[in-house]
Structure 1
Amino acid sequence: MTFRLSLIIKFALVLVLVLPACSAAETLVVPTERPTVTPTATGTPTRQPGTDITPTPLPTRLPLTPTGGPSPTPLFGQPAVVAVRPTASRTPNPNAPRIEYFTTDVLSVVPGDTVRLLWAARGADTAAIYRLDGTGNRTQLWNVGPDGQLSVQTSRRDRVQIEFVLSIGEGISRVEQSLIVPLACPDTWFFSPSPAPCPVGPTAETAIIEQPFERGRMIYIASSNRVYALFNDGVAPAWFSIDNRYDPAIHPESEENFQPPPGFYQPLGILGFVWRGNDRVRNRLGLALDLESSYQGVVQAAPNGGAETLYVSSADGTVLELLPEGDVWQIITPS
């Protein structure tokens, strides 16, 4: 028992001595600088041959063209399409009728003089020459040979130009050529600025009666023995003329029972006869504003599309212009 106790005490002493020796010795820590962080470059990945991936292209969207739905089916089948066939070139026929020339030996003609026409044609036995009027209608005909000359008398009233047509051949082989001959102007106008056309004739002096009215005027021209009523009421026609049928031996000069208001007058004689007997003239013109004026005046005319424009000297020194068909009339102040 004593031995065992002694053994335990020894073992305990050994433990007391050994355990402190086994504990970690105290380590002396020496402070050092904190290491600096040095950034390390990161390499860029390099494509290696054989490792590239080819991108797959996206499909391209085609533009949609609106069609408006299904095409309707024609009720009567497909429309006919005319095929244009090439036109075969036609070989000229050396024997076909042809006109070599159609002319005159003067540059212009004075109205009333004679003009000589000259022509030559081939491929035809006969020919025809037509004269055209101002509207292009064929009014005169001469049957002539395929070549030759023809003298044509012009009229003193022809103006601006005269036109002829030479015609040869028949049917589809007919060939025609026109000839225009200028006309010299033999007359001058009695006023200026003058109209562009040549006057139909020389200045003609004549007795004229003129009277002003509320809505226009009346004029009597002795050379034509006509009375002209000119209206300014804006109603068509703007003017018209009436034959003079006044006879002082049987017709009264005025209407004795009619007394116009103060400042107005009743037209007398030739003008009064038309005014009293024509309701349209009287109603459109109204009453006279002054007594009539009688004077020696001048009348001239100009061609106008197959008709004539009339120019009349007025009592106040102006010129009255009357266009054809009663369309318009106006006052011209000479310079």
Structure 2
Amino acid sequence: MEDDEPSHEGFATETLDPALQKKHHDMLERLSARHQSLKSDSHDSSFSSSTLDSTSSFLSRFADSKRSVESRIAESRLASSSSADSSKVKSDLSDISLAIDNLEKLLAENSYFLPSYEVRSSLKAVSDLKQSLEILSGELIPKKKFSFKSKSSSRKPESKPAEIQKLNVISPPKLPVRDSPGFRNKHGETLVKSFKGSSIGEFTLSDLDSCQVKLMGTVNALFLHRLRNCSVYTGPVIGSILIDDVEDCVLVLASHQIRIHCARKSDFYLRVRSRPIVEDCNGVRFAPYCLDYEGIEEDLKTAGLEEETGNWANVDDFLWLRAVQSPNWSVLPEEDRVSSVSISGDGDY
């Protein structure tokens, strides 16, 4: 009797009802889909963990460097009470200034993956250190006191020593030029690139003059350096856009984070999830994103930028700490805006 059972089970499988077969097949597909979803969730969790580790590592390095600078400022102030040599004082101030520059560089090089609030906090910390150094330099090397002189004497404008002039200049951090694919050293050209189907993570536009740039599809990060009289139209960027030294440009950009350094007389058409950050800029104007090309709606959804947040008009100027509106940026009047820019059908260079 036992020998007959395997044969009976095989026969039952072969003559299974079609409806039951379909139900069995659908169940297997659901199990497979769930397995793939779990694998994907595991990958996303790994990516998120990696980002958190990077942020934690940066914050630790930044805090250590900040404490070191604060300690050196305190030591220099104490040393001044013991009549330290003036050349030694100047050397110490110069070393502290260099340490602050290095701290600024550390922030610039890592800002593309940091949360907005960490960038804001770190920029404020750097600004406070610069102010402390400026106060210290004024205490240790005070300006000459004003005194009346006879009208017959020729008055020449007083100039500060070169070292102190350098210390009193508050300059924004220079963003590093990334060693990534991109368009570099072009003049008067139309430059087109599609990221669809590519594995490019970062893209750089550097040293462009009088060029028109059209980028379609999504990319993880975008870096712009030293652009003059250019028009730049880009699809959505999944991470951050970092901009340094642009003038007389029109830039149509979409990203989760956008940071702009040293921009002059330029118009920005933005869609951005967080508040745009400007520093050491003047004559810059802002308007909503206006780009169109075939497939852009899908790309915006992929980047998580399908919704307009209105943050294009909520700009943070980190060199303007007063409560009133910064004079360095403004909203572009509606009558001066471009309503829509289409770059569909352009080839890939």
The TM-score with structure 2 as length reference comes to 0.20
Task: Select the structure with the greater relative contact order (CA < 8 A; seq sep ≥ 6).
Answer: 1
Structure showing the higher strand proportion among its residues: 1
Answer 1 or 2: which has greater helix percent.
Answer: 2
Larger radius of gyration: 1
| Normalised TM-score (structure 1) | 0.21
